[in-house]
């Protein structure tokens, strides 16, 4: 059962779907038509479309067993969900681009090529387990793993144009005794154990693991980051990805070897001055993040993206 197209009023300078949805934040959006992307979220399938220099249109699909009264309730919430998901009432991206361009000549040179890249405010459970899959991985393979995870343990929501869409699995589904073996057969390798151990830890140590993870939004960046590091398969970079993309820590900066190299080449990060080793150690990881935060300020994680 599908609904009619509605419009989300937003300029291309504030949000471009083709860059935002493909830049390695979320691994679940699929191209479902010309200039269209679709993804299942908590019992509904959402489709977005945007042609360059236009607003964003959206519609949603529900399985046939969903009552009309519930559909009406969900439609009332959908617009608010999208505003929150893209953080449209939180961050004025045009103002940020202007500020960052003044602070950094390198950013000013490349900004025109990458308009409208926003940070998504994702579901923390989904975001956490997706980035556990990201360790030593690339976007295409991560997307394949996440799709397998949803097909294996998530609920089927809808079939659109011959493509099945599944919800992200609830936490308890990832604690079943056979999870590690099943995921290894699906090609997850050592990440299978991390997924199972983290799910088990959250279920055993908190009355509601999802509520606990959401509560990290209320802590400081350093507190939330430290809490995430206690989870299996979560190192500094994965913790920063979760902090930035689902826990409202706008100044979190995930650092990898590419960012490490760029910080030295374009942003004057000098390991010799700091007396550190010339490799991405834990100490250098923190120092690079602090260095970029000094340049870009409160929303430095957005500038980094």
What tokens does 215 get?
């509560």
Reduced 3-state DSSP string for the chain: CECCCEEECCCCCCCCHHHHCCCCCCCCCEEEECCEEEEEECCEEEEEECCCCCCEEEEEECCCCCCHHHHHHHHHHHHHHHHHHCCCCCCCHHHHHHHHHHHCHHHHHHHCCCCCCCCCCCCHHHHHHHHHCCCCCCHHHHHHHHHHHHHHHCCEEEEECCEEEECCCCHHHHHCCCHHHHHHHCCCCCHHHHHHHHHHHHHHHCCCHHHHHHHHHHCCHHHHHHHHCCCCCCCHHHHHHHHHHHCCCCCCCCCCHHHHHHHHHHCCCCHHHHCCCCCCCHHHHHHHHHHHHHHHHHHHHHHHC
Distance of CA 202 to the CA centre of its chain: 20
The residues assigned a catalytic role are 237
């Amino acid at each position: 059962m599908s609904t009619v197209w509605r419009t989300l009023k937003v300029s291309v300078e504030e949000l471009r779907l083709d860059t935002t949805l493909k830049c390695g934040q979320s691994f679940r959006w699929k191209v479902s038509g010309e200039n269209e992307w679709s993804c299942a979220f908590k019992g509904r399938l959402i489709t977005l479309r945007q042609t360059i220099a236009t607003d964003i249109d959206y519609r949603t699909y529900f399985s046939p067993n969903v009552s009309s009264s519930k559909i009406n309730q969900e439609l009332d919430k959908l617009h608010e969900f999208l505003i929150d998901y893209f953080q449209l009432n939180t961050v004025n991206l045009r103002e940020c681009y202007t500020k960052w361009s003044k602070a950094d000549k390198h950013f000013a040179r490349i900004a025109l090529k990458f308009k409208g890249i926003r940070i998504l405010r994702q579901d923390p459970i989904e975001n956490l387990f997706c980035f556990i899959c990201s360790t030593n991985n690339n976007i295409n393979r991560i997307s394949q793993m996440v799709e397998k995870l949803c097909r294996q343990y998530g609920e089927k929501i809808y079939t659109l144009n011959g493509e099945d869409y599944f919800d992200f699995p609830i936490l308890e589904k990832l604690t079943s005794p056979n999870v590690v073996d099943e995921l290894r057969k699906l090609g997850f390798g050592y990440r299978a154990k991390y997924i199972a151990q983290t799910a088990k830890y959250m279920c055993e140590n908190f009355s509601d693991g999802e509520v606990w993870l959401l509560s990290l939004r209320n802590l400081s960046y350093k507190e939330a980051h430290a809490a995430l590091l206690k989870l299996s398969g979560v190192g500094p970079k994965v913790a920063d990805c979760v902090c930035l993309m689902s826990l409202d820590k706008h100044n979190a900066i995930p650092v990898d070897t590419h960012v490490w190299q760029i910080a030295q080449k374009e942003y004057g990060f000098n390991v010799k001055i700091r007396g550190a080793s010339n490799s991405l150690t834990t100490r250098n990881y923190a120092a690079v993040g602090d260095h970029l935060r000094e340049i870009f300020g409160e929303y430095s994680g957005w500038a980094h993206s």
